[in-house]
Structure 1
């Protein structure tokens, strides 16, 4: 079992399955997720119109879900829904929550990545 098994916001089974399927490409997948997530966060923070926010949230939701970051995916889903509503809800608060949640899970993926750098 990896260290991520102790983190409640990352599904260990998803990471194990990805490792099995990706084999030697697994570290590159982790690198891509970390890098893309940083770009997606910046896009969310910079976006000013609801459509751009919705698109960025949708993209981030998909990658987070695929990587087992289920709480992060749920927050992105909520943001996507809020951005598509006429009144929008508290979009900025959700973006802050997404930023915080990524800060929580990022070290899990970084530790997972370190296990494969030899």
Structure 2
């Protein structure tokens, strides 16, 4: 049985804090939290326009950024969406976007908690 993918990988967050120190890592978290809603919106725009290239770019960008902060569930759904968009067949994309949106909410909540924990130090 496959192990469930965690919302956030605490070891990745700690490694980021250790390598950059909180004074630099917290602003990076802020940037992600401010910028990432645009990627999710781009995914919806791509579906409305049936634009596989835009969907691929938005999913790729959000996946990469999510991995930086150990947001594993979000990154995995984005990876799946990126792979799907690469094929050009968007027939299953809306269902994946809905999963991305759910994972995104959980991921941003988890990252906000980490941000507050490390900003207080």
TM-score (norm 2): 0.85
Describe how 1:66-85 pairs up with structure 2 within 5 A.
66-85=68-87
Question: In structure 2, how many angstroms separate the alpha carbons of the residues matched to 1:8 and 1:75?
Answer: 12
Partner of 1:38: 37
Consecutive aligned runs of 4 or more in structure 1 exceeding 6 Å deviation: none
Of residues 5, 8, 19 in structure 2, which corresponds to 1:10? 8
Partner of 2:26: 27
Q: How far has the Cα of 1:89 moved from its partner?
A: 3.7
For structure 1, list consecutive stretches of 5 or more residues without a partner in the other structure.
1-6
Q: How far has the Cα of 1:8 moved from its partner?
A: 2.8
Aligned residue pair count = 112
Could you say what the CA RMSD is over the residues aligned between the two structures, in angstroms?
1.7
Partner of 1:90: 92
TM-score (norm 1): 0.86
Any conservation in 2 of the 1:82–1:89 contact (CA below 8 Å)?
no
Between 1:85-94 and 1:61-70, the stretch displaced more is: 85-94
For structure 2, list consecutive stretches of 5 or more residues without a partner in the other structure.
none
